[in-house]
Amino acid sequence: MDKFFSIVRGFGLKRGPQRWLGGICGGIAAKLRVDVAYVRVAFLLFCLLPGPALVVYILGWLILPDQKNKIPLESFISQRSR
């Protein structure tokens, strides 16, 4: 499992510091170097289309590292295995 989290960290994508709902759109905007409003609008349009938008967002929230490079899913798994 550690290899998986190392790969995720290797993407260089982190949740953003300006957080509305988990900071996923902020992190994507920072990586793409665009205004976060554009990413939020694109995500809202994506949500209007049939598809798994909410699932993708929740997965991003669980596996993308925050600004301190901590991954929520990794923390949860390590606490459960103690």
pLDDT one-digit tens code per residue, 9-46:
877 777 766 666 677 888 888 888 899 899 889 988 88
CA distance readout (Å), 26 to 3, 18, 30, 49: 25, 6, 6, 21
Query: Given CA atoms 15, 54, 20, 42 in this order, what sign does their dihedral have?
Result: positive
Q: What is the mean pLDDT of the chain?
A: 82
Range 40-66 average pLDDT: 84
- 2: confidence class by pLDDT, cuts 50, 70, 90: confident
Give backbone dihedrals phi and psi of 18, rounded to 5 degrees, phi first. Answer: -90, 105
